[in-house]
Amino acid sequence: MTNQGYAWENEYRNPLLVTKNDGPQADTLRFFKYLKKSQKYVIENRTILDLGCGTGRNANYLAEKGNNVIGIEISKIALGIARKRAEAMGVLVDYRLGDIGTPYAIENETVDIVIDVTSSNSLDEKGREIYLSEVFRVLKKGGYFFVRALAKDGNKNVKNLLKQSPAKEYDTYFLKEIGLTERVFSKEDFIKMYGSLFTILSLEKKTGYTTFNNRIYKRDYHLAYLQK
């Protein structure tokens, strides 16, 4: 297991960033609402890939709605929770232990929707290159891709972290308490990276807050609706 893998295992053992909620995330629900209303796209009997699926909040919900869901997660602890929740709900999800920055055991162009809810931020550049190419490979032509990624622009906390705890790669910092490296994106860099492979249907910025070490931190996100 990679250092990032150990960090996530510890995080799910003693949560500092992740929540204990078991329902689908609000940002994901908004994305599905957008597909239904703006794209007239029915989210039922679809093959959906949940990258960094965590404890199954989104995957189990989507399976309950009648979809074929694959969830990839690096933490055994998180997967254990996800599977127990799925069993309790009476739903079936293809949960797989794995790193989303490595090749996926999924056939070409067989996935209708891919979701990445702040999961790829902890990838290194090599892993991110693989992740992007793999999403493009497995996604059907016309398929949809939802990304929530950490935003850099105008965030003082991010500016301080990049200055005080810089990691090795571009626009990354190291969270010492967790042992986790995170990548943040300027709007320009995000568009350049994702727009080279996918059509950007919608891109907006959202502000959230998290409690960490008894302090409240502002965390900004890019919310992107993409299409192959």
Phi, psi of 160 (to 5 degrees): -70, -40
pLDDT of residue 12: 65
As a whole number, mean pLDDT of residues 85-104 equals: 97
Strands 139-150 and 94-97: unpaired
Confidence of residue 96 (pLDDT cuts 50, 70, 90): very high
Q: What is the pLDDT of residues 40-88, one digit of tens each?
A: 999 999 999 999 999 999 999 999 999 999 999 999 999 999 999 999 9
Q: Give the pLDDT confidence score for residue 213 in this predicted structure.
A: 59
The answer to whether 115 and 58 have CB atoms below 8 angstroms apart is yes
Tokens of 78: 């998180």
Helix H or strand E encompassing 33: helix 26-38
Domain borders along the chain are: 3-152+186-227
CB under 8 Å to 155, separation ≥6 — which residues? Answer: 184, 218, 219, 220
pLDDT digits (tens, 9 = 90+) for 169-205: 999 999 887 888 999 999 999 999 999 999 999 999 9
For residue 1, pLDDT beyond 60: no
The CATH superfamily assigned to 3-152+186-227 is Vaccinia Virus protein VP39 (3.40.50.150)
Pairing mode, strands 94-97 and 68-73: parallel
pLDDT score recorded for residue 179: 83
Q: What value does the mean pLDDT take over residues 31-41?
A: 97
The per-residue pLDDT for 210 is 73
User: Does position 23 have pLDDT exceeding 90, yes or no?
Assistant: no
Q: Which residues pair with 143 in a beta bridge?
A: none
Side-chain half-sphere exposure of 107, counting CA atoms within 13 A: 3
Name the DSSP letter for residue 177: T
pTM beyond cutoff 0.95? no
